Structure formats: C-alpha cells, structure tokens
A and B are shown apart, each in its own frame.
Chain A
Amino acid sequence: MPPRNFLPVTLRTLVAWVVTLLLFFPLGWVFLTSFKTELQAIHVPPLFVFHPTLENFSLVQQRSDYLLFARNSLYTSVGSTFLGLLIAVPAAYSMAFFKTRHTRDILLWMLSTKMMPAVGALIPVYVMCQTAGMLDSVPALIIVYTLSNLPIMVWILFTNYKEVPGEILEAARMDGANLWKEFRHVVLPLTIGGLASTGLLCLVLSWNEAFWALNLTSAKAGTLAVMIASYSSPEGLFWAKLSAASTMAIAPIIVFGWLCQKQLVQGLTFGAVK
C-alpha cells in the first residue's frame, strides 16, 4: 500500500481536480468560446451552454489569413527542426563516442550560450537581417531558431548516445562495420526514441517562439505568434474570433507537448533533473 503521504485519497482527489480545473480553466474557456458567436461570447453572466458554431474559424481565416501564418509557423518549426537535427546529430555522436579532453568544456560552453537572453542579440541580428535584406523572411527565422535550439538538441542527443554501451559498438566494429554502418545499424535503431523527442521538442519550442517572430517578421513571414499579436488592439466585438484564432494557434502544440513531457523536462533542465 503506498504510504499516505499527504492527504487521504478522496480529499486529495477532490483538491487535485478542483485546482487543476481552476488552472486549466482559462484554456478551456478559450476553447469553448471559439464556438460561440460574438454576442454569446460577451454575454454577462458567461454562458456555458449554447449552440456551437464554426463561423469564427472561417472568419479568422478571412480576416487574418490564418493559413498563411500557420504555414509560416509550420515551415519555420519543421525547417529549424530538420536543420537542427542535421547539425546536432553528428555533433552529439562525435561527442558521445569520440570523447576528447575538451568535450566536457565544449558541452558546458554550448549550454552557456543558451543562457544569453535573446535580447542581447536582438540588435545585431536585426541589423544583420536588415543589411542582408532578410527581414520578414522565413529563412532568417529558420536560421535563428535552429541556432537557438541547437544547444538543447545536442544535449539531449548526447545523453541519449551516452547510454549505448560501448561494447556493442566494438562488437559491430569486429563484425566489420565502418562508422556509417555502425550508426545506421546499431546506434540509430537504439536511439530513435531520443531522436524523435529531440525533434518534437524543437518543434514545440519553435512553434511557440515569440520574441524573434515579433521582431523580425510581420506580414509576409509572420508566424502564428505574430498573427495573434495583431488581435491585441480591440476592434469591435472580437472575443469569439480571438478564441478561435488562439485555439487554432495553440491546439497542435499542446498535443505535441502532452506527447513529449519527459523529454521536455530533460531538455529544459539540461539533464540536471532526470
């Protein structure tokens, strides 16, 4: 029987559910409101029971071209994830299996680059983009995101690769495998889980990223973060539309987040908490 650590079960269940529902309420409310008409949305007292409608979703598309922004979000997230993996996998691989004296220092230094608040690089990056004519372009955002996420990706992959027992690789070597075959037949199948989580993590982080998106892009390359920001000045009744837009912006990522919780903890604490 598990020790009764805190409170008796029924009380605990009640408290847990109440607290959780309270905390989740804002999100649930937004979700609900996206199916209301504008008048229903501002109804006082708030409505919990109503006839749902899908009109908001198409209105959002009309007003702000949801699809354009969604597409940009998709491109930047997927693009930066792909590019990131391309660089991070060989880097983590060589650090895990070809340890040198400097490996530890390099790893720590990589982490410390993540510590620099984005604002520190805002001006130079902005100026560089401007000079290169890359303001408001998807590639610029992809590059920035890739570089921001690279340390975390390398870190997670590194810890994953370290778990592969060295002897298995030696066995593969004795069996005649060269470096590439070792990777393809042994390391890859064993660490595909870590690869997937790293990719998912990068997707989530890029999708939600707001600072660079808001400062480097606008109408052409804006991501969903930018689209939502355009709702910040109220214009008439727009609660329901805002809710719909929000739901459309955050739903995919919340699902993703649910899927990769564990990896997030690892990635976000750089492995300090397992």
Chain B
Amino acid sequence: MAYLQLQDIKKSFGDAHIIKGVDLEINRGEFIVFVGPSGCGKSTLLRLVAGLEPVTSGKLLLDGKDITYVPSGKRDLAMVFQSYALYPHMTVYDNMSFALRLAGVPKDEIKNKVEHAARQLNLAQYLERTPKELSGGQRQRVAIGRAIVRSPKVFLFDEPLSNLDAALRGNTRVEIHKLHVSLGATTIYVTHDQVEAMTLADRVVVLRDGLIEQVGSPLELYDHPASQFVAQFIGMPSMNMVAADAIPSFSAQTGGRLPGNGFLGVRPEGLHVHRGHGAGVPGRVDLIEALGNDTLIHVDVGGVQLIARQNERTPLKVGDDVGVELNPAVLHLFNREGRALAA
C-alpha cells in the first residue's frame, strides 16, 4: 500500500479554488517532485500535506493513518522552507535540536543526533554560531539538518534552492540527491525549476491550475509527454511546437496521423540544420547560441521560429540560408486541445 496518499484533495480560499481535486499515491522512500508554473498550486499542496493549511475537502493518509485533521506538529513530517525560517535568536545547535527538546527527548540522544546530522552536512564546526553569522548555503544546510534530526516519515522541501546563487544551487542539488540516496527517506520536493525536477526525482508530478497534468518518471515525461503543456514545460530549450498547417512538409512526415488542426512537436535535438537549401525545409538563421558543449541554432522557417540543437560547433552565421530536417522517430503529435496522440 502506498506510504502517503492524497485522496481527492481540494482547497479553496473563499471563492478562489486553488487545488481542484488531486489524487496521488507516494511510495515509501520515493523522491517526488511537484513542479509547475507559478500559481499552479504546488506550494499550497505541500502546505496542505504539512498541515499548515487545512484542506477544504479530501483525505490525507500517512502510513495507514488518517492525518487530515491532525495538527502539523503531530504528523511526523519535517519541512525545509524556502527562506529557511531558522530561529534567529538560537544557535545552530539549538535550531536543530528544538523539535527534539520540545518532544522531551533525553539530552544525550539529542546531542548524538544533532552531531551526526551536522557531520553529514559539514556543519560540525558551526554548531555554536547563530544564523546571522552564516552564509546562505550554510543556513540552508542548517534548515535541512533541522529536518534530518527528527527522522520524520516524510521530508517536505519548499523551493529550497531558489534563494541560492547559480553555482551554489548546482552543488546543493547534488548534495540533496546524495543525501536522499544515503537516507532513503520519502521526500516531496516543490520547485519551478525543471532541471531540479529532472535530476532529483524518482517521479515528477506536473501541476497546472490546481490539477495534476501528468505523473511519471523524469524520462517518461520527457519522452512521452501527455500534453502540450507538459511537453513544453519539461526540457530546455522547450520543445518546438508547430501548427499542423504551418510547415506542410513536416506534417506530411507524420503519415497522416496529425489532424489538420493539431500540433506537431519536436525537441531541438530532433532537428538537423545544414547549410544551403538542400534537403529539408528552407529557412534562415536568426540567432546562434554557442554554449561550448552544445550549440543552439534559431531558425526562421517561413515565419515559424524553430530551435535546433547539436553537439558540434557550427560555422553558420546569422542570416545564412539553411535547410532544416526533422527526425520522424522523435515526433510528438497533439490534437487541438493539446492532448498527446498515440505515436
């Protein structure tokens, strides 16, 4: 049976319906990522699980128990907040031991747990410092440490990396991943960054407007998006979306399966650009982005903007005439409503 179950969860604030009916089953030890654009309700959903907001209707079950109306402190969950929410007047040691102290855990046990977690997070030498004496990355680790020490049933992360600078973000992401591997704890992680989603998740939950668009492993979502929305949300740069009648020679390659008012999707790496108007659809280079390991070529094909990606460097320049070919094996077809059609 699933470890954590969300059953038809709905949440409204007055007349605003934020969560419109979410069903989800999470297995023990899974790393689940809630991802979606701003306003989709992912943070709200997390807070509902945490118990910081009450559900309007629906049920929450954890390890067989109904926790829908259980207060946050008693749900055996730990949360890492976006702004870390450390207690400014307490030392790192006190911050991390606060929950245990409240629960009446004996002092030596507390000491062991805190020191163990501190070692795992490289915080051992900062235990006597206060939050304002720490850097952003260190504070974040204290926030994580505060959660680890409690050995909760589920870890909740609310966009923990968004306040860090780019370099630190990358490093911390890796650290969180390694931590998950070593602790094996069930985790729900909220982010708007799809790179974090792709790299950290066992399964990704894409949310849109208070409903689940799709649930699946990162690669499943990448290779078989169930809708245009998911297809364009996952993957950077986004999938090229072409209306059926915009580039007829592309549409022809679908073998008639693409409806006249549908959309054709192909990822940048599924397009090949070569010099001159030889094979493929003619177009003109708009922009070249040379990233070192990748090269992105923006091409204007009869008014339609396409982005192609390749591993090699390119001698092409802005304004060059080129031909764009597409690899039919990686086509995605969508109907007018944006739902994916069987490949």
Contact = CB atoms under 8 A, between A and B. Distances in A.
A and B are partners in one complex rather than unrelated chains? yes
A170 B85 contact: yes
Contact of A171 (B79, B89, B102): B79
Interface stretch (A39-47, A142-150, A173-181): A173-181
Interface of chain A, helix or strand or loop or mixed?
A: helix
Interface of chain B, helix or strand or loop or mixed?
A: loop
A176 B89 CA distance: 18
A83 interface: no
Contacts of A186: 87
B50 A174 contact: yes
Contacts of A172: 87, 98
A176 B81 contact: no
B102 A177 contact: yes
A177 B52 CA distance: 13
B303 interface: no
A71 interface: no
Residue in A170, A175, A176, A178 with the greatest tally of chain B CB atoms within 10 Å: A175
A180 to B, nearest CB: 11
Contacts of B86: 168, 171
A185 interface: yes
Task: Indicate the size class of the contact surface on chain B.
Answer: 20 to 34
B99 interface: yes
A174 to B, nearest CB: 5
Contact of A181 (B72, B87, B89, B102): B102
A68 interface: no
A166 to B, nearest CB: 9
Contacts of A165: 83, 85
A176 B103 contact: yes
A165 B73 CA distance: 19
Q: Which 8 residue pairs of A and B lie closest in terms of their CB atoms, listed nearest first?
A: A176-B73, A175-B99, A167-B85, A171-B85, A189-B89, A176-B102, A173-B72, A174-B79
Interface of B: 50-52, 71-74, 77-79, 81-83, 85-89, 98-99, 102-103, 146, 150
26 contacts: A165-B83, A165-B85, A167-B81, A168-B85, A170-B72, A170-B79, A170-B81, A170-B85, A171-B81, A171-B87, A172-B87, A174-B50, A174-B52, A174-B77, A175-B73, A175-B98, A175-B102, A175-B146, A176-B74, A176-B102, A177-B102, A178-B73, A181-B102, A185-B87, A190-B88, A190-B89
